[in-house]
Amino acid sequence: MILINGESKEHIEVSDRGLQYGDGLFETIAVKSGQAQFLDRHLQRLNAGCSRLLISPPDNKLLKNEVASLANQADRAVVKIIVTRGTGGRGYRQPDVVKPTRIVSLHPYPDYPNSYQQQGIHVRFCATRLGLNPTLAGIKHLNRLEQVLARAEWHDPMIQEGIMLDIDGYVVEGTMTNLFFVKNEALYTASLEKAGVAGIIRGVVMEQAALHGIKIFEGRVSRDDLLSADELFVCNSVIGIWPVRQIEHQQFLVGPLTRQFQHWLEHFEDKGVQNEQ
């Protein structure tokens, strides 16, 4: 089920700048019991992204209704929003008048085993590096070749995520997740000023840490930092929080703070849904 500018369709114009240049943004939203989770936060990030890319943000009320109309149909699902700058022009210059394209689509919830959340996952380091660019860092834009290439590096079904370094060799995030580690009861994550996507769950985790008096360090993270961590976890809107049990040959225990964040996220989600109504 796909809505394009509010109409049920499955195709967009070839001249859409989303296809021509990756000229747009997206959001991937979990649906539980027919409700889009953290919807206000997703729309807030989408609007911030539109502002960064100079795209007119879509009417949020309209978008909320469209998301709700798809989410209502599903118990457990994923709703994806894509907003592109619109159609027009062969050339990077946007037309003087351009109307953004709004695409809302419903997808099955991926059938991840419960064990990923409970016992944790195995991850690897990717060879594909993230480029550095403050202009595009943080937002969830459609220029995602780096992630596609990183995800194409492995086929082993025992590996659930790949960790990406930037071209300077610092750890940034997973191909589809943000990454946290715990060391001496403090929480660490990579700064996203030059690369990476500022995930919704990443924001929630950091808020929860602050709320509960857990020290947070956001900065440069090295491979060695990860490998000497007490606890490690990855997160995104669809999976929630997955503990990392193993990076390549190095094993980790699923620690108490990871469990705590999982608990807080579960709790927070309920509250988030209420706020969104």
Chain-centroid distance of CA 100 in Å reads 22
The one among 44, 60, 69, 128 contacting a copy of itself by CB under 8 A: 128
Q: Facing residues of 244 across strands?
A: 121
CA dist 129 → 86, 142, 196, 218 (Å): 30, 17, 11, 20
Largest CA distance in the chain: 56
Phi-psi region at 34: left, alpha or beta (left = phi > 0; alpha = psi -120 to 50)? left
Nearer to a copy of itself, 141 or 202 (CB): 141
Q: Tokens 């991926």 label which residue?
A: 110
Region of 3-11, 60-68, 112-120, 217-225 interacting with a copy of itself (CB under 8 A): 3-11
Quick one: which of 32, 64, 122, 144 contacts a copy of itself (CB under 8 A)? 144
Given the rule CB under 8 A, which of 138-146, 177-185, 207-215, 259-267 is the region that contacts a copy of itself? 138-146
Among 140, 141, 202, 245, binds a copy of itself (CB under 8 A): 141
Q: At what angle do helices 60-71 and 39-53 cross, to 10 degrees?
A: 140
Q: Does 230 bind a copy of itself (CB under 8 A)?
A: no
**Residues forming the active site:** 28, 140, 173
Q: Using CB under 8 A, pick the residue from 32, 107, 122, 223 that binds a copy of itself.
A: 107
DSSP state of 96: S
Spatial distance between the Cα atoms of 101 and 12, rounded to a whole number of angstroms: 9
Options 56, 115, 119, 167; binder of a copy of itself; rule CB under 8 A: 167
What single DSSP character describes residue 193?
S
| 113 sits near a copy of itself (criterion: CB under 8 A) | no
Query: Which C-beta is closer to a copy of itself: that of 54 or that of 213?
Result: 54
Return the number of the residue (94 or 191) whose C-beta is nearest a copy of itself.
Answer: 94
Rg (CA), the chain: 19
- The terminus-to-terminus CA distance of the chain in angstroms comes to 23
Q: Which stretch binds a copy of itself (CB under 8 A): 105-113, 185-193, 211-219, 269-277?
A: 105-113
- Beta strand 2-4 pairing with 240-247: unpaired
Query: Binding-site residue total for a copy of itself (CB under 8 A)?
Result: 60
The CB-of-273 to a copy of itself minimum distance in angstroms stands at 22
Asked if residue 173 lies in contact with residue 137, where contact means CB atoms within 8 angstroms, the answer is no
Cβ-Cβ contacts under 8 Å for 203 (sequence gap 6 or more)? 41
Give min distance, CB of 245 to a copy of itself, in A: 21
CB of residue 233 to a copy of itself, shortest distance in Å:
20
- Cβ atoms within 10 Å of 83's Cβ, excluding its own: 26
173 binds a copy of itself (CB under 8 A): no
- Which one of the spans 15-23, 56-64, 254-262, 268-276 is the region binding a copy of itself (CB under 8 A)? 15-23
In the complex, which residues of this chain contact a copy of itself (CB under 8 A)? 2, 4, 9-23, 26, 28, 53-54, 78, 80, 82, 84-85, 90-94, 103, 105, 107, 110, 128-136, 141-152, 167, 175-176, 194
